[in-house]
Amino acid sequence: MAYKRQIDRLPIPPKDAKVHNVTCHYCIVGCGYKAYTWDRNKQGTPTENAFGIDLSKQQGADGTWMAPSMYNVVKQDGKDVHLAVMPDHDCVVNSGLGSIRGARMAENRPSTVTGTQQQRLRDPMMWRYGVLQPTSWDDALDLVAQVTARVVTEGSEDDLVVSMFDHGGSAGGYENTWGTGKLYFESMKVKNCRIHNRPAYNSEVHSTRDMGVGELNYQYKDYELTDTIMIVGANPLETQTNLFLNHMVPGMRNGAKVIFVEPRRTVSVNAAEVAAGKDNVLHLQINAGTDMALFNALLTEIVAKGWVDKDFIANSTFQDGIAQAQDAGHPAALGSIEEAMKSCTMSLSEAAGICGVDAADIAKAAAWIAEPKDGARRKCVTAYEKGIIWGNDNYRTIGALVNIALATGNVGREGGGVCRLGGHQEGYYRPSDAHVGRPATYVDQLLINGGGKVHHVWACDHYKTTLNASQFKRIHKKRSDMVKEAMDAAAGGTREDLVNAIVGAVNKGGLFVVDVDIINSQIGQNAHVVLAACESNEMNLTSMNGERRLRLSEKYMDPFGNSKPDCLIAAGIAQNMERVLKAMGKADYAAQFQGYDWSTEEDAFMDGYNKGNPEVTYDRLRQMGNNGVQEPVVGFENGKLVGVERLYSNGEFGTGDKKARFCAAGWRGWQAEGKAEEQAKYKYWINNGRANIFWQNQFLDQDNDFIQDRFPFPFIEMNPADMADIGAGPGDLVEIHNANGATQAMVYPTPTARRGETLMVFGSPAGSQGNVINPGVNELVLPDYKHTWADIRKISDAPATVKAISFKSKEYKSV
Amino acid sequence: MSRCSNLVDVGRRHFLRGGSVAVAGLATAVLPVGGAKAAPANAQINYPSNRLANVSDLTVNEPMDIEYPDADSPGALIKLGQAIEGGAGPDGDIVAFSTLCPHKGWQLAYDSKDSTFNCPGHFSRFDVEAGGQQVWGHATQNLPQYTLRVDDNGDIYAEGASDLIFGRPSNVL
């Protein structure tokens, strides 16, 4: 039977409860919440309370209600206090809606009173006597600095490999990207680095940026003002929930048509059919990896019909042939529309053959996107995400999609925009990364091939979120075990003995691993030093959401135990590097590690983001509340920060000459190595996706009873006939295996899944889909996670934990 | 003197306010001397025992509207037609749930084809055959299920709830 909370009453926040602005730190939408904290021995009454409503009466639909998941008891200034974190009705992003993630922020806080999140790290730890032992910051940071300084001075900074988040929210944000960025890109020039979810330090959307079109160029309200919503390789009801519910659905109810380009039927498609009416939804259920062919046919049709925006193209796009030739850093040429059409032209029938959809439907989509309405531009807003970002031929495919928006003048205008939907919030502020180069180092391969001697890992878990993960894990463990053995052998000796032992081991192929995280992650098993970090609301944190809305999410509780903000950990590493290098007699190099005398995260913010954006301070952001300000911030007037609703509204784009470029996105089939062979060899496409219930926070839900009760194992959606082929019933465990490796999942029967096309949840701590993904990447080292083929066999009947769970369709049915 | 009287009044008011909790016990409890003293609050709330229907009133897979614990809290009583974990009645197949979505309090609609409650507001779904488990949706808990007792006459009583009901800080207001 389903998990029951067995809670029938909650404390009431008193009228004088402290109120803090909170931006949800899970997904990019960044919903506004209010955190209420109050003394342990105080409470409100039904009529006198912080909400200012009569709680003795039943609240109506959409009314204010504290669910049990919105409540906890946490430490604030060393004292236990009540905490309630509730969705903010006055925030324009979510208008009071909470998601299944954000509305659990309170219960996902570490509490020594209620016992939640006991997996959170309290102290730094060091590998000693065969286990990770808690220790002091001074001790841990000293060893990190001693080993790192020895390795980079005896060899070079190229021997230091860094995996680090680049996003906002959670443990990212402007404070923490600056702290880490200053350390690795200013004090050092580390080039062998990568980002949390991919094996290199690169943009996921190089082409749109090269074309002059930043990937977050609209405002969410554009979905409410548009004629057509085009959603490509994305499932926003699950992964940008309140963007879908609070902006896309109102747009659909205002009469917008909806086009989905997506090989599978998602809950988003179903919900759009309910909201817009089936006749107003066109689902182009294309073959895997064929998006670019479809976009090129759409563009060809739009050009042929004369539906292009001639004035916009003439005034705002490059006119003279090729602006950027194809080369090692540019997988396609960029230039005028005429130049692009030489590569992009594709007939409806040819695309229909490649994509497996009707030519008539492609023509219909082109009309919905571009056919003038009442003699004027048809407004079309385009949204895309991992389906093409982690898909086939990333650079050209995204370029081909942006081509359509440029050709129809749908960028920088009301009801337009061509934007990625995003994962985390953004919050990137670092010194230049130009030294990293393009293409950037394929860091996972570097480590697999024995490169690097020291590995600093910041809130990344390659075990769950990399490709070719089976091989990566084996080798990473083997190399780090060499250092563990050396440390064990040096036990009882001096610090100098220990450092010598570690340096000796890394010079023989070992890897010294420093893991900075909020929990003991899976890659953290290989760490020799673990540094305990905290996250937003345990510190002040600034980030911007998918419409560039910058907010300060305020600190309302203490960091757990002795954990610290990442920016202050980076400062601690820098200060120790300076001290150690000085002692080594390298005064000049040591001096590069000065400038970290920060005592709070605000100091890091002022040292970084504020220097580039002097109008923006914590006090001003606090005043702007949960609606914040849309970046870029262009002024401060009448006590308010002034932002920008849409980018490029003046028709000038982000290139040297302000003219946008089209992409010569010639279709070339499977781009990444090994994909075509794998598709031919194995029976099942193992697509991957996310589930709203734990998207972006699955690692925090490993011990959450409500979540584990629903999905005790990572699921794989399969057509019932495919299940019959392998003799698997609902909830049975299967092994997914191919030449890259193997992983396991629980079968979820899904009649809408096409035969031979499965979907496994990505990033699960209990079954990494990355184990079976081959190492194939594009020219700029963007992984094609989405295209993996494997065989599937049953390994177990449904375990007891699975027996009681529901395997019914996830699709809402109107009754 | 006046101060002393006020204190007595405060005590009386507290006692009366707690009346809905205490009244069920009054008939059998022997009041201690000085019974006007405020009764300590219980550690858990006492639910009313409300008769919802008789087994013979129910048709398989046709939910009956109910109100529990009070008239402002809509719910549904359903005979599923096959025994189920947590099911009440002679066939072990009767269940009852709150029908306010624990996401934003919209009234759920029953789909008899697959025995689910569906939320027209934001597309959440709950499986009546799996203890009200959220199949897919935005709520951070499963559907509050009512504790049922069926007496020898087939009368069905609700006497508790598994989860907090939307829109109230306490299931008994």
Q: Which among A58, A69, A70 has CB closest to B167? A: A58
Chain A CB contacts of B173 below 8 Å: 46, 56-58
- Nearest-CA distance from A265 to chain B in Å? 15
Q: Would the CA dihedral through B42, B47, B49, B55 be positive or negative? A: negative
Computed over every residue of chain B, the mean pLDDT equals: 84
Residue A117 has pLDDT above 50, yes or no: yes
Nearest CA in chain A to B133: A2
CB count within 10 Å of CB B53 equals 18
Three-point CA angle B153, B159, B164, nearest 5°: 150
**CA–CA distance, A389 with A231 (Å, rounded to integer):** 13
Give the strand pairing for A257-261 and A281-284: parallel
Q: For A673-700, what is the mean pLDDT? A: 95
- Amino acid of residue A151: V
A40-55, pLDDT tens digit by residue? 999 999 999 999 999 9
Hey, what are B156's tokens?
A: 């069905």
- Which residue has 């199949």 as its token pair? B135
The secondary structure of chain A in percent helix, strand, coil, rounded to multiples of 5, reads 35, 20, 45
**CA–CA distance, A369 with A383 (Å, rounded to integer):** 13
Active site residue B138: no
Query: Do B123 and A709 lie within an 8 Å CB cutoff?
Result: no
Chain A CB contacts of B113 below 8 Å: 813
| Mutant choice from B118, B138, B172 vs A, greatest count of A C-beta within 10 A | B138
Query: Do B168 and A59 lie within an 8 Å CB cutoff?
Result: yes
CA distances from A452 to A155, A433, A507 (A): 10, 19, 10
DSSP state of A600: S
- Nearest-CA distance from A189 to chain B in Å? 44
Residue A30 backbone class (left: φ over 0; alpha: ψ -120 to 50; beta: rest): left
| Mutant choice from A812, A813, A814 vs B, greatest count of B C-beta within 10 A | A812
pLDDT at A388: 98
Query: Do A812 and B142 lie within an 8 Å CB cutoff?
Result: no
Contacts of A683 (CB under 8 A, 6+ apart): A756, A789, A791, A792
CB count within 10 Å of CB A306 equals 9
pLDDT at B44: 83
Chain A CB contacts of B47 below 8 Å: 8
- Nearest-CA distance from B35 to chain A in Å? 25
Please name every residue paired with A686 in a beta bridge, in sequence order, or none if there are none: A758
Please choose, from the candidates B128, B103, B105, the residue with its C-alpha nearest in 3D space to the C-alpha of residue B117: B128
Residue A62 backbone class (left: φ over 0; alpha: ψ -120 to 50; beta: rest): left
Q: Which helix (H) or strand (E) holds A224?
A: helix A222-225
Chain A CB contacts of B132 below 8 Å: 2
- Which residue has 């309200």 as its token pair? A221
Q: How confident is the model at residue A518 (pLDDT cuts 50, 70, 90)?
A: very high
| Mutant choice from B108, B118, B122, B147 vs A, greatest count of A C-beta within 10 A | B122
Contacts of A571 (CB under 8 A, 6+ apart): A179, A596, A597, A598, A604
Q: Which among A4, A107, A806 has CB closest to B163? A: A4
Instruction: Please check whether residue B166 touches A, CB under 8 A.
Output: yes
- Amino acid of residue A730: P
Identify how many contiguous H helices and E strands chain A contains and give both numbers.
27, 30
The secondary structure of chain B in percent helix, strand, coil, rounded to multiples of 5, reads 15, 30, 50
- Nearest-CA distance from A780 to chain B in Å? 37
**CA–CA distance, A553 with A628 (Å, rounded to integer):** 10
Residue A135 has pLDDT above 70, yes or no: yes
A610-626, pLDDT tens digit by residue? 999 999 999 999 999 99
Q: What are the E-state strand segments in A638-699?
A: 640-642, 662-663, 684-689
pLDDT at B37: 63
**CA–CA distance, A357 with A690 (Å, rounded to integer):** 25
Three-point CA angle A190, A192, A194, nearest 5°: 105
Contacts of A629 (CB under 8 A, 6+ apart): A549, A550, A621, A640, A641, A642, A643
Contact A318, A336 (CB under 8 A): yes
Q: How confident is the model at residue B5 (pLDDT cuts 50, 70, 90)?
A: very low
Q: Which among A2, A104, A808 has CB closest to B114? A: A808
pLDDT at B26: 33
Residue A3 has pLDDT above 50, yes or no: yes
**CA–CA distance, A239 with A389 (Å, rounded to integer):** 15
Q: Which of residues 47-86 of B touch A (CB under 8 A)?
A: 47, 72-73, 85-86
pLDDT at A180: 98
Please choose, from the candidates A416, A412, A406, the residue with its C-alpha nearest in 3D space to the C-alpha of residue A661: A406
pLDDT at B39: 74
DSSP state of A159: G
Query: Do B169 and A9 lie within an 8 Å CB cutoff?
Result: yes
Chain B CB contacts of A10 below 8 Å: 164, 169-170
Q: How confident is the model at residue A157 (pLDDT cuts 50, 70, 90)?
A: very high
Query: Is A174 in a helix, a strand, or coil?
Result: helix
pLDDT at B13: 33
Q: Which among A3, A274, A806 has CB closest to B135? A: A806
Residue A808 has pLDDT above 90, yes or no: yes
- Choosing from B12, B17, B37, B122, the catalytic residue is B122
Chain A CB contacts of B141 below 8 Å: 5, 67-69, 706
Residue B24 has pLDDT above 70, yes or no: no
Q: Which among B44, B106, B114 has CB closest to A8? A: B44
pLDDT at B4: 36
pLDDT at B36: 53
pLDDT at A695: 87
Q: How confident is the model at residue A803 (pLDDT cuts 50, 70, 90)?
A: confident
pLDDT at B21: 33
DSSP for A234-266, please give it.
--HHHHSHHHIIIIIHHHHHTT-EEEEE-SS--
Contact A602, A571 (CB under 8 A): no
A190-247, pLDDT tens digit by residue? 999 999 999 999 999 999 999 999 999 999 999 999 999 999 999 999 999 999 999 9
A92-104, pLDDT tens digit by residue? 999 999 999 999 9
Instruction: Please check whether residue B132 touches A, CB under 8 A.
Output: yes
- Nearest-CA distance from A792 to chain B in Å? 25
Chain A CB contacts of B97 below 8 Å: none
Contact A251, A243 (CB under 8 A): no
Query: Do B133 and A709 lie within an 8 Å CB cutoff?
Result: yes
ipTM computed for the complex: 0.96
**Of all residues in chain A, what percent carry a pLDDT higher than 70?**
100
A481-507, pLDDT tens digit by residue? 999 999 999 999 999 999 999 999 999
Q: What is the pTM of this model?
A: 0.95
Which of residues A601 and A768 earns the better pLDDT score? A601
| Mutant choice from B141, B146, B159 vs A, greatest count of A C-beta within 10 A | B141
Q: How confident is the model at residue A696 (pLDDT cuts 50, 70, 90)?
A: confident
Three-point CA angle A331, A333, A339, nearest 5°: 150
pLDDT at A477: 98
**CA–CA distance, A354 with A669 (Å, rounded to integer):** 9
pLDDT at A427: 97
Nearest CA in chain A to B100: A61
A252-278, pLDDT tens digit by residue? 999 999 999 999 999 999 999 999 999
| φ and ψ at residue A373, rounded to 5 degrees | -115, 125
B28-65, pLDDT tens digit by residue? 333 444 445 667 778 789 999 999 999 999 999 999 99
Q: How many CB pairs under 8 A join A and B?
A: 166
pLDDT at A171: 77
- Nearest-CA distance from B81 to chain A in Å? 17
Query: Is A295 in a helix, a strand, or coil?
Result: helix
Hey, what are A341's tokens?
A: 């059409």
Active site residue B14: no
**CA–CA distance, A333 with A666 (Å, rounded to integer):** 10
Q: For A145-150, what is the mean pLDDT? A: 98
Computed over every residue of chain A, the mean pLDDT equals: 97
